[in-house]
Amino acid sequence: MTSSPAELMRRNLLDVFNEPDPDRRAAVIAETYTADVVWHEPDRINQGRTEFERRAAEMLAENPDWIFRPAGPASGLDDIGHLGFHYGPPDRPAVVSGMDIARVEDGRIAELYTIVTEVRPPS
């Protein structure tokens, strides 16, 4: 089954970065990203699914009570997907806002770019 770039963006945000179970998260990562995926964060570049899994687990451990929420609908055009996000405690205003932009190859994310647009102090 081939997924659209918009569907992959929703999976990336909600089924990977909000998934606390490492086995379920690893299964989604295997289905959603190419083996040699490259994820560009503001302060680092992660290469391959193993690094992707490690970094996702690290982020979940850093703020275990925080969640990602979509900031509007996911969109896609040709092989590019986009989804804005808010990140923070579920019952408070977001601490971090930004967007993910991905390039898709053969129905999987090959490159992911995370752009942070705003960081607020936690309330």
**pLDDT tens column, 64-93:** 999 999 999 999 999 999 999 999 999 999
Query: Could you tell me which residues come within 8 angstroms of residue 60 by beta carbon, excluding any fewer than 6 positions away?
Result: 17, 20
pLDDT at 121: 86
Query: Could you tell me which residues come within 8 angstroms of residue 98 by beta carbon, excluding any fewer than 6 positions away?
Result: 84, 85, 87, 114, 115, 116, 117, 118
pLDDT value at 1 more than 60:
no
pLDDT value at 123 more than 80:
no
β-strands 33-41, 108-119 pairing = parallel
Look up the pTM and report it: 0.93
Condensed to tens digits (0 to 9), the pLDDT of residues 2-33 reads 789 999 999 999 999 999 999 999 999 999 99
CA–CA distance, 80 with 77 (Å, rounded to integer):
5
